[in-house]
């Protein structure tokens, strides 16, 4: 449930894998796609190789621009068999789920079924209360742009020990957690600040947003995402798994260290119950679908103009990054601005961004959660050498 501004993460990102996992050559453009070996993607190919050299087991990437499609893989999808990664791999996308959730809420606003200025308490009476939290003072908009001040449940130390660190993960990896349980973890802490008085990334915000979708429609948030986004866009590699513990094929294994400092042995953490992430980060997708989704979103295929403008209206996070409604905005070193989201969950680090006009997109995944620099890959794709 990571996001690019790095103010929180599901697992610590630290030291690289052993040098024994040296980076093999990038495999680019299988299946007839344009390889770009001597074209604009050479810097991206180097960045992908560098991620594996830093310790990421394997990388899969797909870029699309006016010249066509370019794919790249490096490293392995399975450390035991040394099977390489595939450009068609499906993977857990973590907080990229948030853009899908925000899209559905904005569609509901466009239909007149709710307003982003509604309070959380008007939809979920009494749920956001305790230790200074007050759902009567927090709006749905503040959930979506992380200005609510609601405590981030994944920052709770007991929760972290139970679900993210080795001492608890192997005992509890298949636990089913209701979203209300996740909210209660957050409510046991004081809020980070008064509603609207600051910005702090909180996974709790999007657990609540998923519950609002269910209350407004009478259907689980995942069903609404399937009906409103996945099916219309024919996102055949995308799913909302609920409590299903596996990742559908084609896919690679996912690896984590399960320690706070990224030290220790590598563990296969592929199978887990993603209800611990809920509507803040449980989805599965692939790079082709993510590019299609963000391109459709930013070119107006999913939202009317008014709602798309709301989504892209950002709160400043720092000099180069802003956060809208489930959508990040980043100004790169060469002046190009990209919009999208990053996501991290056990053994999986993903990013998907596109330009505002939808003409240049990239989506990729690291099948490890303790090494590699996703920002370097994005910089390479858009800014080159």
* Per-residue pLDDT tens over the stretch 123-178: 999 999 999 999 999 999 999 999 999 999 999 999 999 999 999 999 999 999 99
Please check the confidence at residue 34 and state whether its pLDDT lies above 60. no
Arithmetic mean of pLDDT over the chain: 91
Give the DSSP letter of residue 139.
B
Average pLDDT over residues 64-89: 97
Q: Calculate ∠ Cα 211-109-291, nearest 5°.
A: 80
Helices (H) and strands (E) in the chain, counts: 13, 15
- pLDDT category, 241, cuts 50, 70, 90? very high
Dihedral sign, Cα of residue 195, residue 200, residue 205, residue 206: positive
Instruction: Give the pLDDT confidence of 262-286 residue by residue, as tens digits.
Output: 999 999 999 999 999 999 999 999 9
Please check the confidence at residue 5 and state whether its pLDDT lies above 50. no
Q: What is the pLDDT of residue 156?
A: 98
Q: What is the pLDDT of residue 33?
A: 35
Residues 6 or more apart whose Cβ sits within 8 Å of residue 24: 52, 74, 75, 84
The answer to whether 302 and 107 are in contact (CB under 8 A) is yes
Q: Helix (H, G, I), strand (E, B), or coil: what is residue 90?
A: strand
Share of the chain above pLDDT 90, in %: 89
The answer to whether 209 and 107 are in contact (CB under 8 A) is no
- pLDDT category, 17, cuts 50, 70, 90? very low
What is d(CA 332, CA 375) in angstroms, rounded to the nearest whole number? 9
Instruction: Give the pLDDT confidence of 308-359 residue by residue, as tens digits.
Output: 999 999 999 999 999 999 999 999 999 999 999 999 999 999 999 999 999 9
Whether 95 is catalytic: yes
Please check the confidence at residue 251 and state whether its pLDDT lies above 50. yes
Higher-confidence residue of 205 and 4: namely: 205
Please check the confidence at residue 104 and state whether its pLDDT lies above 70. yes
Q: What is the pLDDT of residue 1?
A: 67
- pLDDT category, 385, cuts 50, 70, 90? confident
Q: Which of 86, 95, 202, 287 does the annotation list as catalytic? A: 95
pTM across the whole model: 0.92
Q: What is the dihedral of CA 198, 204, 208, 211, to 10 degrees?
A: 160
Q: What is the pLDDT of residue 93?
A: 98
- pLDDT category, 39, cuts 50, 70, 90? very low
Average pLDDT over residues 43-55: 98
Please check the confidence at residue 3 and state whether its pLDDT lies above 50. no
What is d(CA 346, CA 326) in angstroms, rounded to the nearest whole number? 21
Please check the confidence at residue 70 and state whether its pLDDT lies above 90. yes
Please check the confidence at residue 25 and state whether its pLDDT lies above 50. no
Please check the confidence at residue 38 and state whether its pLDDT lies above 60. no
The answer to whether 51 and 373 are in contact (CB under 8 A) is yes
- pLDDT category, 221, cuts 50, 70, 90? very high
């Amino acid at each position: 449930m990571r996001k690019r501004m790095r103010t929180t993460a599901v697992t610590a990102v630290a030291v690289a894998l052993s040098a024994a996992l040296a980076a093999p050559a990038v495999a680019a453009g299988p299946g007839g796609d344009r390889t770009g070996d001597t074209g604009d993607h050479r810097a991206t190919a180097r960045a992908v190789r560098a991620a594996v050299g830093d310790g990421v087991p394997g990388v899969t990437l797909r870029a699309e621009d006016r010249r066509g499609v370019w794919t790249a893989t490096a490293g392995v999808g399975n450390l035991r068999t040394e099977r390489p990664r595939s450009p068609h791999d499906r993977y857990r996308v973590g907080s990229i789920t948030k853009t899908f959730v925000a899209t559905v809420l904005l569609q509901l606003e466009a239909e007149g079924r709710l307003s982003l200025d509604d309070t959380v308490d008007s939809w979920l009476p009494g749920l956001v209360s305790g230790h200074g939290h007050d759902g009567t003072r927090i709006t749905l908009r503040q959930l979506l742009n992380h200005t609510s001040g609601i405590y981030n449940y994944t920052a709770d130390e007991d929760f972290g020990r139970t679900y993210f660190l080795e001492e608890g993960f192997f005992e509890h990896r298949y636990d089913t957690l209701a979203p209300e349980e996740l909210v209660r973890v957050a409510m046991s802490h004081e809020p980070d600040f008064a509603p609207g008085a600051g910005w702090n990334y909180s996974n709790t915000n999007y657990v609540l947003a998923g519950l609002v979708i269910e209350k407004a429609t009478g259907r689980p948030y995942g069903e609404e995402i399937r009906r409103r986004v996945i099916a219309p866009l024919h996102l055949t590699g995308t799913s909302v798994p609920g409590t299903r513990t596996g990742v559908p094929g084609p896919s690679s294994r996912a690896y984590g260290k399960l320690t706070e400092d990224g030290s220790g042995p590598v563990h296969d953490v592929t199978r887990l119950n993603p209800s611990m992430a809920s509507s803040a980060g449980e989805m599965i997708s692939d790079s082709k679908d993510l590019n299609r989704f963000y391109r459709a979103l930013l070119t107006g295929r999913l939202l009317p103009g008014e709602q798309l403008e709301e989504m892209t209206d950002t709160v400043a996070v720092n000099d180069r990054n802003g956060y809208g409604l489930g959508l990040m905005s980043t100004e790169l070193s060469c002046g190009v601005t990209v919009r999208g989201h990053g996501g991290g969950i056990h053994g999986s680090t993903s990013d998907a961004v596109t330009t505002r006009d939808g003409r240049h997109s990239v989506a990729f995944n690291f099948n490890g959660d303790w090494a590699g620099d996703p920002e370097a890959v994005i910089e390479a794709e858009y800014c080159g050498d």
